[in-house]
Amino acid sequence: MSRVDNFLNSFKPAVELFIKHVEDGGKIRIVTHNDSDGLSSGGILCVAAARKGAKFRASSEKKLDDKLIHSLAEEKPDLTIFSDLGSGYLDLISKHIKGDVIVMDHHLPQDYEAENIIHLNPMLHGIDGARDIAASGICYLFAKELDEKNLDLSVLGLIGALGDQQDKGEKKTLIGVNSVIEKDAEDQGFLDKHVGLIFYGYETRPIAKAIAYTTLPFIPGLSGDEGSCVAFLRQIGISITNGEKLRALADLSDDEKRTLFSSLSNHMVSQGCDAGVIHQLLGTIYTFRLEEPSTPLRSGREYASLLNACGRMGRQGVGLSICLGDRDEAMEEAQEILNIYRRKIGSALDWVQVNEKVEELENIYVIRAEDQIDDTVIGVVSGILLGQGILKEAKPIIATAYSDDDQIKVSTRSTEELVQRGLHMGVVMQKVAEELEGGGGGHDIAAGAYVPIDKEDEFIARVNSIVPEQYTK
Binding site for ligand C5P (CB under 6 A): 33, 35, 37, 63, 84, 88, 107, 164-165, 379, 383, 411, 413, 439-443, 445-450
3-state SS assignment for residue 76: coil
- Which of 206, 438 has the CB closer to ligand C5P? 438
Q: How far is the CB of 235 from ligand C5P (least distance, A)?
A: 32
DSSP 396-427: -EEEEEE-STTEEEEEEE--HHHHHTT--HHH
State the Cα–Cα distance between residues 95 and 11, nearest whole angstrom.
24
Residue 310 in contact with residue 337, Cβ under 8 Å? Answer: yes
Q: How far is the CB of 132 from ligand C5P (least distance, A)?
A: 13
Q: How far is the CB of 88 from ligand C5P (least distance, A)?
A: 5
State the Cα–Cα distance between residues 373 and 311, nearest whole angstrom.
16
Residue 130 in contact with residue 150, Cβ under 8 Å? Answer: no
State the Cα–Cα distance between residues 469 and 462, nearest whole angstrom.
11
- Which of 26, 137 has the CB closer to ligand C5P? 137
Q: How far is the CB of 213 from ligand C5P (least distance, A)?
A: 16
- Which of 267, 455 has the CB closer to ligand C5P? 455
How do 282-288 and 191-197 pair as beta strands? Answer: antiparallel
Q: How far is the CB of 375 from ligand C5P (least distance, A)?
A: 8
- Which of 204, 430 has the CB closer to ligand C5P? 430
- Which of 35, 291 has the CB closer to ligand C5P? 35
- Which of 155, 384 has the CB closer to ligand C5P? 384
- Which of 33, 247 has the CB closer to ligand C5P? 33
Q: How far is the CB of 165 from ligand C5P (least distance, A)?
A: 4
State the Cα–Cα distance between residues 372 and 348, nearest whole angstrom.
8
3-state SS assignment for residue 320: helix
189 Ramachandran zone, left/alpha/beta (phi>0; psi -120 to 50)? left
3-state SS assignment for residue 193: strand
Q: Please name the residue ranges forming H helices in 118-253.
A: 135-146, 154-163, 177-187, 207-212, 226-235
- Which of 32, 295 has the CB closer to ligand C5P? 32
Q: How far is the CB of 306 from ligand C5P (least distance, A)?
A: 14
Q: How far is the CB of 422 from ligand C5P (least distance, A)?
A: 17
Output the CA–CA distances (angstroms, integers) from residue 105 to 101, 108, 121, 380, in the order listed.
13, 9, 5, 20
State the Cα–Cα distance between residues 73 and 95, nearest whole angstrom.
10
- Which of 297, 446 has the CB closer to ligand C5P? 446
Q: How far is the CB of 311 from ligand C5P (least distance, A)?
A: 10
